[in-house]
Amino acid sequence: MSAVPTPSTILPAPGSKVPDLAFKWVAALAAATIVALIVLVGWQLYAGSRQSIAHFGLGFLWSSEWDPVQDKYGALPFIFGTLVSSLIALVIAVPLGVATALFLTELAPLKLRQPIVMAIEMLAAVPSVIFGLWGIFILIPWLRDHLFVWLKHTLGFLPLFQGPIYGVSMLAAGIIIAIMILPIITSISREILRSVPNLQREAAYALGATRWEVLKIAVLSYARRGLFGAAILGLGRALGETMAVTMVIGNRPQISASLFAPGYTLASVIANEFAEATTDLYLNSLFELGLVLLGVTILVNIAAQLMLKSMTKGGPIKVS
């Protein structure tokens, strides 16, 4: 027994466990900040809006009065503006994004794919404020003088396209947001389409389907749920867009049927009026708008995550 060297002669003395445990706990703490931050964000917004919650109650959500002079505040025009501008963005961006993803996964020559993907990634890197600048000086004049005039001329019988054209408008905001959420919708759709097994496509081709029929029957119907998730994720981004929207939407708290009319969103009213909120109730109301915005975006994001997760995990039969 004594001939066997004790461990201490070949191994460094077993050091104390303290550094190891300490490191583990520091790392755990850092990971836990993620959860703590969510709680902090929610709690602070709630704390900041307590006065207005107490003062206006739930009526805050559907009152359309926003009058800092009278100290009366209601969220409806901003909720309306946020929803409408995001919806316009989705109507434009989802078909375009999915079509581009289809092009990239199914049609484009291999040499073209990487450059196009890079261009889309670069589009995602352009800051909101630069889109806003471009929107004010390039996009809006063009929309005002060409697209909007044409829309009014051809679709003017719809209430959506009636009324005076200012340039700054709900529709302009929707278009800018659409450009900004295109990259995420395209790249997530592309991931989803790439996960469609080739066997699906081959089976459809073997039955004599044309390329479009293959896309329709084998690819799109298979990927439907995931593509829906991609759209919802895009919606989550669209709701919170601030700077570019603030610069092109016209910032007027009104509810109008016309898409040519200016509007206002939750994020942009906060950006514009926060620094000049004179009374406590005013500031509290802005915080409550922030709370509404946070609540809606978190719910939408959670829905998108769940949808995308069910697509990748429990989708139809996976063929490896």
Residues 266-285 that bind another protein (CB under 8 A): 267, 270-271, 274-275
The label of the residue with tokens 């009014």 reads: 152
Structure tokens at 151: 């829309």
d(CA 213, CA 106): 13
| Member of 53, 144, 301, 315 binding another protein (CB under 8 A) | 301
DSSP letter (8 states) at residue 224: H
Q: Which member of 15, 109, 164, 314 binds another protein (CB under 8 A)?
A: 15
Task: Give residues 172-211 in contact with another protein (rule: CB under 8 A).
Answer: 179, 182, 186, 210-211
Q: 302, 312, 316, 318: which one contacts another protein (CB under 8 A)?
A: 302
Interface residue with another protein, options 61, 99, 149, 257 (CB under 8 A): 99
Q: Exactly one of 88, 94, 104, 188 binds another protein (CB under 8 A); which one?
A: 104
Rounded Cα distance, 191 and 199, in Å: 17
Applying CB under 8 A, which of residues 51, 64, 128, 195 lies at the interface with another protein?
128
Decide whether 258 or 297 has the Cβ nearer to another protein.
297
Question: Bridge-partner residues for 67, per DSSP?
Answer: 72
Tokens of 2: 């004594």
Question: Smaller CB distance to another protein: residue 151 or 296?
Answer: 296
- Which residue of 53, 108, 160, 255 would you call a contact of another protein, by CB under 8 A? 108
Among 53, 133, 203, 220, binds another protein (CB under 8 A): 133
Tell me how far, at minimum, the Cβ of 52 lies from another protein, in Å.
14
* CB burial of residue 144 (10 Å; 0-12, 13-18, 19+): middle
Cα distance between residue 285 and residue 277, in whole Å: 10
Residue span 226-255 as binding mask against another protein, x where in contact by CB under 8 A, dash where not: ----------xx-xxxxx---x--------
Instruction: Give yes or no for a contact between 286 and 273, defined as CB atoms under 8 angstroms apart.
Output: yes
Regarding 136 and contact with another protein (CB under 8 A), the answer is yes
Say whether residue 310 binds another protein (CB under 8 A): no
Using CB under 8 A as the binding rule, whether residue 297 contacts another protein is answered as yes
The least distance separating another protein from the CB of residue 145, rounded to whole angstroms, comes to 16
Q: Which residues contact 241 (CB under 8 A, 6 or more apart)?
A: 128, 177, 180, 181, 265, 267
Q: Which is nearer to another protein, 62 or 137 (CB)?
A: 137
* 61 versus 129: smaller Cβ distance to another protein: 129
CB 129 within 8 A of CB 269: no
CA distance 223 to 200: 11
Can residue 146 be called a binding residue for another protein (CB under 8 A)?
Answer: no
Alpha helices in 49-163 (DSSP H): 50-56, 59-62, 76-102, 110-125, 128-134, 140-142, 148-155
Q: Does 110 bind another protein (CB under 8 A)?
A: no
Taking alpha carbons only, the member of 235, 194, 222 closest to residue 91 is: 235
Residues 49-88 that bind another protein (CB under 8 A): none
Q: Are 245 and 176 in contact (CB under 8 A)?
A: yes
